[in-house]
């Protein structure tokens, strides 16, 4: 992986079972459950390789936000990049946080308000 490229996509939905059934039937994905403190995260796999994630958005996103795909871009240093955000006209929606064995993530917005995840993968 490298700084500045898209590295992950996840579906935020309030119907995980329906989404899993849809993507299994139409794309051929299989799913592996990863229990998390706030509920299960589902790895979508194709030919045994992770290709995306699915999660229940209930309580994670503000009320009224529709189901959506969310993308992540790899950055070399999440904390340093977040420090540059305001001067470039961006917004910080969620402070940097760590996910063990995955990496450090921040949820940011560009000057238009479009949200995006920035991630520095775990070593």
**With bands split at pLDDT 50, 70 and 90, how would you rate the model's confidence at 123?**
confident
Q: Give whole-number Cα distances, 105 to 15, 23, 25, 38, 110, in Å.
A: 25, 26, 31, 17, 16
Q: Which domain holds residue 84?
A: 75-123
* Whether residues 51 and 90 fall in one domain: no
What CATH number corresponds to the domain at position 95? 3.10.180.10
* Whether residues 88 and 36 fall in one domain: no
Give the model confidence (pLDDT) of 29-74 as tens digits.
Answer: 999 999 988 889 999 999 999 999 999 999 888 889 999 999 999 9
* Whether residues 40 and 79 fall in one domain: no
* Whether residues 65 and 96 fall in one domain: no
d(C-alpha 107, C-alpha 112), whole Å: 14
Kindly compute the dihedral angle of the four CA atoms of residues 76, 4, 60, 45, in this order, to the nearest 10 degrees.
Answer: -110
| 44 C-beta neighbours (distance < 10 Å), count | 22
* Whether residues 100 and 121 fall in one domain: yes
Total number of domains in the chain: 2
DSSP symbols for 39-57: EEEEEEEETTEEEEEEEE-
**With bands split at pLDDT 50, 70 and 90, how would you rate the model's confidence at 1?**
low
pLDDT of residue 61: 86
Q: Across residues 91-114, what is the average pLDDT?
A: 95
Residue 23 scores a pLDDT above 80: yes
* pTM assigned to the model: 0.87
**Residue whose C-alpha is closest to residue 44's, from 78, 67, 75, 21:** 21
pLDDT of residue 62: 86
* Whether residues 41 and 90 fall in one domain: no
* Whether residues 56 and 101 fall in one domain: no
* Whether residues 12 and 44 fall in one domain: yes
* Whether residues 65 and 80 fall in one domain: no
∠ CA 107-111-113, rounded to 5°: 55
Q: Across residues 96-112, what is the average pLDDT?
A: 94
Alpha helices per DSSP H over 27-99: 78-85
Residue 13 scores a pLDDT above 70: yes
Percent of the chain exceeding pLDDT 70 equals 99
Percent of the chain exceeding pLDDT 90 equals 85
Q: Choose one of 23, 54, 69: the last residue of a domain.
A: 69
């Amino acid at each position: 992986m490298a700084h500045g490229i898209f590295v992950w996509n996840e579906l935020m939905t309030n119907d995980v079972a329906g989404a899993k059934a849809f993507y299994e039937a139409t794309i051929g994905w299989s799913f592996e459950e990863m229990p998390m403190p706030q509920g299960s995260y589902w790895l979508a796999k194709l030919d045994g390789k992770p290709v995306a994630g699915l999660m229940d958005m209930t309580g994670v996103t503000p009320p009224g936000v529709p189901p959506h795909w969310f993308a992540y871009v790899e950055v070399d240093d999440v904390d340093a990049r977040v420090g540059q955000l305001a001067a470039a006209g961006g917004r910080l929606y969620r402070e940097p946080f760590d996910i063990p064995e995955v990496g450090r993530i921040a949820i940011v917005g560009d000057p238009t308000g479009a949200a995006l995840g920035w991630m520095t993968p775990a070593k």
